[in-house]
Amino acid sequence: MGDITDEDIIALYWRRDSSAIDAASRAYGSYCYMIAKGILKNPEDAEECVNDTWLRAWNTIPPKRPQRLRIYLAKITRNLAFDKFKRQYAQKRGGGEICLVLEELEECIDAGSNLESEILAKELHESINSFLYGLPKRERDIFLRRYFYVESTDDIAARYGMTRSSVLMVLSRTRQKLKIYLKKEGLIE
């Protein structure tokens, strides 16, 4: 039958054909699992999160028609994993890598600022994407590995053949650049 494309999978969702779930799982199950496991650090929780991803995709396609299915499923998985993490560790101190990542990003985006409105959040999202695509590839990859995939700085260092302190420096400089960029865009004070 040949390889099934993202367009084929999306068409199955739009026809409400349950084989869409199997096709999405075959195409992106490992990828989504890697994202969930990176956040949750627990294989069973990650698997549950990935299964929830297929349900969420089923419930949102249609009406949504993702341009890039891989990214769409990754965002669903990531959001579900963060939600699960928050529920599990809300009462615990020192929530691990997630807490570190959020603390690191606080210096760029003030949690107390008025970003709750949907319009500002959308503008912020678009500005961050624009900022990221303006970065050199390696710097962008390191930033995304840390703040999207929630990889530890040690894992990132090993992946790129860098020292941990070099990774921390790249991340610090990139956060500073992001902060300046968002100020220039008028999204933070």
Q: What CATH topology corresponds to 97-184? A: Butyryl-CoA Dehydrogenase, subunit A; domain 3 (1.20.140)
Using one digit for the tens of pLDDT, what is the confidence trace for 33-65? 999 998 888 999 999 999 999 999 999 999 999
Where does 41-113 have alpha helices with state H? 43-60, 69-89, 97-106
Using one digit for the tens of pLDDT, what is the confidence trace for 119-164? 566 677 778 888 988 999 999 999 989 988 888 899 999 999 999 9
Q: CA 124 to CA 117: how far, in whole Å?
A: 11
Q: What is the DSSP string of the chain?
A: --PPPHHHHHHHHHTT-THHHHHHHHHHHHHHHHHHHHHH--HHHHHHHHHHHHHHHHHHTTT---SSHHHHHHHHHHHHHHHHHHHHHTTSS--THHHHHHHHHHTTS-TTSS--SHHHHHHHHHHHHHHHHTS-HHHHHHHHHHHTS---HHHHHHHHT--HHHHHHHHHHHHHHHHHHHHHTTS--
Write out the two tokens for 171. Answer: 């991340």
Using one digit for the tens of pLDDT, what is the confidence trace for 10-38? 999 999 999 999 999 999 999 999 999 98
Query: Taking a C-beta distance cutoff of 8 angstroms, is the pair 23, 70 a contact?
Result: no
Q: What does CATH list as the number for 6-89?
A: 1.10.1740.10
pTM over 0.75: no
Dihedral angle sign, alpha carbons of residues 92, 97, 102, 106:
positive
What are the residue boundaries of the structural domains of the chain, listed by start? Answer: 6-89, 97-184
Write out the two tokens for 65. Answer: 């028609």
Decide if 6-89 and 97-184 have a common fold.
no
End-to-end CA gap in the chain: 55
Q: CA 19 to CA 4: how far, in whole Å?
A: 12
Tell me the pLDDT band of 115, cut-offs 50, 70 and 90.
very low
